[in-house]
Each structure stands twice: as structure tokens, then as C-alpha cells.
Amino acid sequence: MVTLVLGASENPERYSYKAVERLLSQGYPVVAVGRREGSLLGIPIQTELPTKGEIHTLSLYLSPKNQTHWEEAVLELEPQRIIFNPGTENPAFAKRLEAQGVNTQQACTLVLLATDQYES
């Protein structure tokens, strides 16, 4: 169950960094995508989304205005689930995803992992 963290950052104070850290510690494979290339806990931060079919869950850490750039690519990616973390809520984008059959959640990846609800 590969998780893509969109909005990944090398800054350990950012929630996207903490999410990658927690996902890795719990054995989930992670793909990190951000605005700049870099490295996060040994995972390369890419600036492009991977190919369709590779990602199960996309954990979103971008504000709605910063999501605009990624919307079409995310729709083409066809993940099974997208988690809109706090501050990323975007009802219009969620509606488009749901119309395509993508399960959307307004939740916190860190909380889901901490409470054993991530795979639910």
C-alpha cells in the first residue's frame, strides 16, 4: 500500500515530514513529492507525480490554492484514496475525485496512523 505524500518537505517541523517519518516507521512504502527536489529520511523528494497505478493513498499537505497546479495530474494518477489533512480541505476538488471513484477523507494522516485507523 504505497502512500504518496504531496507537499513533502525536508523541514522536520512540517507535518508532511512527520507523516513520512511515521509511515516509514510503521512499514508503509512512501513516495515524497514536493516543490523542490531533496531528501527526506532517505526518501528522495521528487517534483513530479509517479505513474498511474503505483499509488494507493495520497496524503495531501498543500493548501487549496497550491493544489490547483496538481489537480489534473492527481486525477490522472488515480489513487484509491486521498487524505485531505487539516488545512487542505477542498470540497470542489474532493467532489471531482469522488466522481472519478476516488475515496476522499478529511482526516489527519498522523492521527489515523496513531489510532490504527490508517488502513480502514
DSSP string, 65-103: HHHGGGHHHHHHH--SEEEE-TT---HHHHHHHHHTT-E
Helix (H) or strand (E) holding 33: strand 30-33
Paired sense of beta strands 38-40 and 43-46, if any = antiparallel
> Does 14 map to a domain?
yes
> Does 87 map to a domain?
yes
> Does 117 map to a domain?
no
Measured CA to CA in angstroms, residue 16 lies from 7, 11, 33 at distances of 7, 9, 10
37-52: average pLDDT: 94
User: Rounded to an integer, what is the distance from CA 97 to the centroid of its chain?
Assistant: 14
Please report, for the domain that includes residue 96, its CATH number.
3.40.50.720
pLDDT tens-place string over residues 78-117: 999 999 999 999 999 999 999 999 999 999 999 999 999 9
> Does 119 map to a domain?
no
Residue-level pLDDT at 23: 97
3-state secondary structure of 27: coil
Residue-level pLDDT at 53: 84
pLDDT at 1 over 70: yes
pLDDT at 21 over 90: yes
Q: Which residue has the cell 493548501?
A: 63
User: 52 lies in which domain range?
Assistant: 3-112
> Does 32 map to a domain?
yes
Residue-level pLDDT at 120: 61
Measured CA to CA in angstroms, residue 86 lies from 26, 28, 36, 47, 117 at distances of 21, 21, 22, 22, 17
Name the band, by pLDDT with cuts 50, 70 and 90, for residue 51: confident
Instruction: Give the number of domains in the chain.
Output: 1
